[in-house]
Structure 1
Amino acid sequence: MITSVQNDKVKQWKKLHKRKGRTESGAFFVEGFHLVEEAHKSNWEIKELIVQEGINVQHIEGEFPITEVGDNVFKHISKTETPQGIAAIVKMNQPKVVNGSTVLLIDSIQDPGNLGTIIRTADAAGFNAVMLGENTVDAYNEKVIRATQGSLFHLPVTTENLDEKITELKEEGFNIWASSLSGARSFDELEVGSKTALILGNEGAGVRDEIVELADTVVKIPIYGKAESLNVSVAAGILMYYIKM
């Protein structure tokens, strides 16, 4: 039982709330019964289970260390408003080979809620992978993980150099679509090829011009009302489901 927030283990867990700590350790922090169970069911490596005193975790079966902590310690490491008393340290899983015919590329999205929702929607739509540009929010950010509702564990999510990856995808026969409001065709006028990669961009600035120039097709979603644009996660859902129809 760990009861002090000054314990060395507790300090290491706290470091995982920062991108630098996650990168250095190759692990990340997952909180709540649902997300811990999704990680476990999806065969991600749980390095350690952290359980608040009095919480029953007998239904989570696995060969991993379990550390019990006092209420004060769990509140100290928790990032949720109503902690459930269970968390896990999970090893990062960065697949290098992605197979399939539909890929989503993310250029500089900054809002964790948007990215998590997009990953969840990609999972629901049956996309084969999500590839994050280097300026995008970290996929292992706690807010991203919560917004994915476990979908992070269901499909490959990698960090890539988008310029290089787009070139590779073209060589593999992918048709590259970039979402933009200027110089674009309405998505529903287009035929979807056998392999399609969709690029979505930053909430305010959109896809960078140099990335748009690499695309085969620039697409937009028509705006019929007075709104200037759609939220990027909503746009992602519309375009991904159209591609998969």
Structure 2
Amino acid sequence: MKHIESVNNPKVKQWKKLLTKKERDKSGTFLVEGFHLVEEAIKQGEQILEIIVSEKVGLPPRWDAGAIPVTLVTEEISNSLTDTEAPQGIYAVCRQANSEVQDAKTFLFIDAVQDPGNLGTMIRTADAAGIDAVIIGRGSVDIFNSKVLRSAQGSHFHLPIIRGNLHEWIDKLQEKNIPVYGTALEGASAYTDIPTAESFALIVGNEGNGVSKDILASTNANLFIPIFGKSESLNVAVATGILLYYLKK
């Protein structure tokens, strides 16, 4: 086990750079924080590159890190790697997966969702609902943003999450006779009017503007969730959960 004590160590500087999207894209890696996320990374195995742990914390005895490199750091270094108010003192550097979608039947498409908490919650919900893949369109927050990772609670290691062109994906699925459903407040059908199916794609959109009109124009049908109270709309992550669990056969 290596031990680093200086915040000026080149390794520490590289870890800190992973707090920026620019460096994550450049290096093809990302940083997860906290016992749960690091444990999920260890279970997945292939993506994890190294573990970083504060000398005041240590690795839980139940963990089998195997041949994964572990570096012990000072509390000062550990605290420099976090943007949380109550850091747990444990991190992992992980490789961004080159996700491929094979034989997938159910999809969640995300169009320009900008709130990291919403995006992470939707990824986690898709995972829980047994969705095969999540496709992230242009304009959405970075999928490896630290708040997205915390909200997704390890689901990044459970299912393919792919940045892609939603128009191309819609065309691809419709060629395979997989229905694609948008979400809209106008010109849409109540979601309960649509039959459940073994194959489908659901598109959800930006918190303020919803799914873009050009995407809505290319779907098989657009859905809405009735509002029975005085609220104008549902949070996009909540709406996503309702629709995915309804549509999933």
1:234 equivalent in structure 2: 238
Asked whether 1:221 is paired with 2:225, we answer yes
Count of residue correspondences: 245
Structure 2 gaps, min length 5 = none
The answer as to 2:78 corresponding to 1:94 is no
CA contact (8 A) 2:56 2:75 kept: no
**% same residue:** 48
Deviation at 1:138, TM superposition (A): 1.1
Contact 1:46 1:91 in 2 (8 A): yes
Equivalent of residue 194 in structure 2, options 190, 197, 205: 190
Contact 1:175–1:193 under 8 Å retained in 2: no
**What is residue 13 of structure 1 aligned with on the other side?**
15
Alignment match, 1:44: 46
Q: How many Å separate the matches in 2 of 1:47 and 1:32?
A: 16
- In 1, are the aligned partners of 2:198 and 2:248 still within 8 Å (CA)? no
Q: 2:68 aligns with which of 64, 71, 88?
A: 64
Residue 114 of structure 1 is matched in structure 2 by: 118
RMSD, aligned α-carbons: 1.2
Cα-to-partner distance string for 1:112-171 (whole Å, 9 max, x where unaligned): 000111111111111111100021111111100100111121111110111111111111
Matched, 1:105 2:109: yes
Q: Partners in 2 of 1:31 and 1:99 — Cα distance?
A: 32
Do the aligned residues in 2 keep the contact of 1:98 with 1:156 (CA within 8 Å)? Answer: no
The Cα of 1:102 is off from its aligned counterpart by 1.0
The 1-side partners of 2:201 and 2:15 are apart by 37
In structure 1, the residue matched to 2:172 is: 168
Superposed CA deviations along residues 185-236 of structure 1, whole A, max 9, x for unmatched, are 0000111333210000000000000110110101000111111110000000
Matches within 5 A, 1:116-195: 116-195=120-199
Q: Any gaps of 5 or more consecutive residues in structure 1?
A: none
Distance 1:62 1:78 in 2: 25
AA aligned to 2:93 is I
What letter matches 1:136 in structure 2?
S
Q: TM-score, normalised by structure 2?
A: 0.95
